[in-house]
């Protein structure tokens, strides 16, 4: 398991910081993991699963 920081999440998803936090608040994106103090990170595999879900959603609407 690997934790990744916001900058890496933004790079992987091409989403802006505000969009990521909006989606988290709406329950539409994996939640961050508190690491201590003000430091948070995301589980990399959960981000990849979320991306795969977007692809699957796209492909299911094409049929």
Distance from C-alpha of 4 to C-alpha of 28, rounded to nearest angstrom: 18
Overall residue count recorded for the chain in this entry: 63
Contact 25, 19 (CB under 8 A): no
Confidence of residue 63 (pLDDT cuts 50, 70, 90): low
Cβ atoms 51, 12 nearer than 8 A: yes
The pLDDT value recorded for residue 30 is 98
Taking the C-alpha atoms of residue 41 and residue 8, their distance in angstroms, rounded to an integer, is 10
Q: Which sequence spans correspond to the domains of the chain?
A: 3-61
Q: 4-48: per-residue pLDDT in tens?
A: 999 999 999 999 999 999 999 999 999 999 999 999 999 999 999
């Amino acid at each position: 398991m690997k934790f990744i920081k916001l900058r890496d999440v933004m790079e992987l998803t091409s989403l802006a910081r505000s969009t990521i936090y909006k989606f988290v608040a709406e329950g539409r994106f994996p939640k961050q993991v508190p690491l201590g103090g003000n430091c948070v990170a995301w589980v990399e595999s959960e981000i990849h699963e979320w991306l795969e879900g977007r692809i699957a959603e796209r492909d299911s609407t094409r049929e």
